[in-house]
Amino acid sequence: MDIQPYTTTETLAVGRPWLMSMLGIEANVSVTLDLTAFDENVHWTAGSAFQPERKLKSGIPLGKNATSGLYEPYAAITNEVQTATVTGGPTGGTFTLTYSGQTTTAIAYNATAATVQAALVALSNLAPGDVVVTGATGGPYTLTFGGALLGENVASLTATASFTGGTSPGVTMATTTAGGTATASDGTQKFAGFLFTEESFYPGSSKIGAALMVHGQIDVAKLPVAFDPADVPAGSNTQFIYKV
């Protein structure tokens, strides 16, 4: 099981698109979530100055931290995370990134994260969802791998820079989290169930009550994060549906 960003904004009007039937509702369990363990880029929709509430997306797979007794995102294996950092303060020029023999088109020295991501998924060996790029304009850029590369030890990307200005400008690549590393040992490596409803909370909150759904009929493609049904404990009556 691995984590990747949700590509569709869920609202209360949409409800639970990942739940194919009402099976499982009677088996919900009241739990407390440790909000500090959730990632704002993956697990919730952002608020605004007028509506500061954040909304945790329903369908997030959860595990129980044995030390705190609180529920956190289920963490069986990690996804690869690499960073690309523009150094030397260039004032112009471009750079390229190469993944497994395929090289992107030229990317501006001050490109947005979305531009870097678009250049990567345009490669013949990467598809949308295989890598998500976040970060400020001009970097550093954080490359988080998912999709077909969920939980994989991804080959390190290389960068070639053609910058102007600055002092010895370049692009430094680093692997900050190796994919496929050992599972957690705090209890969250054991899948407990899915967050049943979308939950609202305010910035600064550390805990929130929620409902844990322990079985149901799930459309895997519509879960807010990627999930491997093989992680469900033996004997579970949760059913998984794959739609093309």
**Cα–Cα distance between 163 and 143 in angstroms, integer?**
21
- Contacts for 175 with CB less than 8 Å, ≥ 6 apart: 80, 81, 82, 156
Residue pLDDT, tens place only, 82-109: 999 999 999 999 999 999 999 999 999 9
Q: For the chain, give the mean pLDDT.
A: 85
pTM of the model: 0.59
Residue pLDDT, tens place only, 130-185: 898 999 999 999 999 877 787 788 999 999 999 999 999 999 999 998 887 666 78
- Asked whether the predicted pLDDT for residue 122 surpasses 70, the reply is yes
Q: Give SS3 for 145.
A: strand
Give me the CATH topology for the region 25-77+184-241: Virus Head Decoration Protein; Chain: A, (2.40.300)
Query: What residue segments make up the domains of the chain, in order of their start?
Result: 25-77+184-241, 81-177
Predicted local distance difference test score (pLDDT) of residue 15: 67
- Asked whether the predicted pLDDT for residue 5 surpasses 50, the reply is no
Residue pLDDT, tens place only, 12-32: 334 688 888 755 555 688 999
Looking at 65-74, 195-204, 212-221, which range is the least confident one?
Answer: 212-221
User: What residue spans of 46-156 are helical by DSSP H?
Assistant: 113-121
Residue pLDDT, tens place only, 219-228: 887 888 777 7
Q: Burial of 149 by CB count in 10 Å (0-12 exposed, 13-18 middle, 19+ buried)?
A: buried
Strand residues in 88-165 grouped as ranges (E): 92-99, 102-103, 107-108, 131-135, 141-145, 158-164
Predicted local distance difference test score (pLDDT) of residue 46: 72
Q: What are phi and psi of 148, to 5 degrees?
A: -70, -10
Q: What angle do CA 224, 42, 13 make, to 5 degrees?
A: 45
Predicted local distance difference test score (pLDDT) of residue 182: 63
Rounded to a whole number, what is the largest CA-CA distance in the chain?
A: 64
